[in-house]
Structure 1
Amino acid sequence: MNQRDIVFPAGRRELYERNRYSPAVRANGLLFVSGQVGSREDGSPEPEFEAQVRRAFDNLNAVLAAAGCSFDDVIDVTVFMVDAETNFARAWAIVPEYWGDAPYPSLTGIGVAWLYGFQFEIKVIARLPDAAA
């Protein structure tokens, strides 16, 4: 099996290794980022929904930055939300702080019953800059 080209954000490698998954994998000019939740440095969830959403985006941005990317490089987004009927509008009030201007990435939004103690998760696929491809 080929060795995976893994990207770890600064200061969170132990958290990912403890949970046995990679935060992101580089392949064929793309960056595949695992779902990012609103976890603090120790892995515990932010208690408030809006704080979880912001922390999830901050954690995502840290992974993107570790690969030399930014949210401008994101081409596809999947979000998962507990109680999406209630929380979607709350999350989407925060999104413009992170997404910037159009054109926006493609999006799939999924309502779920459980997210391992979290209420919001975001995973993306991004283009790697030419220098990092």
Structure 2
Amino acid sequence: MATRDVVFPAGRHALYEQHRYSAAVRSNGLLFVSGQVGAREDGSPEPDFEAQVRLAFKNLNAVLDAADCTFADVIDVTVFMVDPDTHFAKAWEIAADYWGEAPYPTATAVGVTWLSGFRFEIKVIAKLPEGAEGAAVQG
């Protein structure tokens, strides 16, 4: 079995160890990023919704940066929201601060009933820059 080429940001939050998953995996020129939430360093949710969305993007950007990517390299986005009728407009307004200029990545928004105490989660697939395939890192 091949070793996964995993990526973790510096100062990673405790959720990776608590729930046994990698922040991202590089494969065939792509970066597959696990869902990022507005988790504080100890893994607890940021209580304010707007601050939680901003922290989710900050955590996402830290993972992208660890793989030598930026949001400009993102080609596909999936967001999950608890109670999207209440939160979608505000989340999308905040996302615009991080999204960058057109052309935009593809995007799918999914309403869910549970996110383990969080209300917003974002997962992405990014194209790795040329030469960004790294050596496997132990999680």
Alignment of 1:48-87 (within 5 A): 48-87=48-87
Residue 24 of structure 1 is matched in structure 2 by 24
- The one-letter code sitting in structure 1 at the alignment partner of 2:45 is P
Q: Secondary structure at the match of 1:93?
A: helix
Residue 38 of structure 2 is matched in structure 1 by 38
Cα RMSD over matched residues?
1.0
Residue 104 of structure 2 is matched in structure 1 by 104
Q: Is the 8 A contact 2:81 2:87 kept in 1?
A: yes
Deviation at 1:86, TM superposition (A): 1.0
Task: Mark the CA change 1:83 to 1:15 in structure 2 (over 3 Å): closer, same or farther.
Answer: closer
Q: Secondary structure at the match of 1:94?
A: helix
- Distance in 2 between residues matched to 1:87 and 1:13, nearest whole Å: 24
- Distance in 2 between residues matched to 1:128 and 1:23, nearest whole Å: 15
- The one-letter code sitting in structure 2 at the alignment partner of 1:83 is D
- The one-letter code sitting in structure 2 at the alignment partner of 1:19 is H
Normalization by structure 2: what TM-score?
Answer: 0.93
Post-superposition Cα deviations, 1:23-44, rounded to whole Å, max 9, x if no partner, equal: 0000000000000000011110
Normalization by structure 1: what TM-score?
Answer: 0.97
Task: Mark the CA change 1:14 to 1:43 in structure 2 (over 3 Å): closer, same or farther.
Answer: closer
- Distance in 2 between residues matched to 1:100 and 1:124, nearest whole Å: 15
Residue 116 of structure 2 is matched in structure 1 by 116
After TM superposition, which residue ranges in structure 1, 4 or more long, deviate above 6 angstroms? none
Q: Secondary structure at the match of 1:80?
A: strand
Identical pairs, percent? 72
- The one-letter code sitting in structure 2 at the alignment partner of 1:63 is V
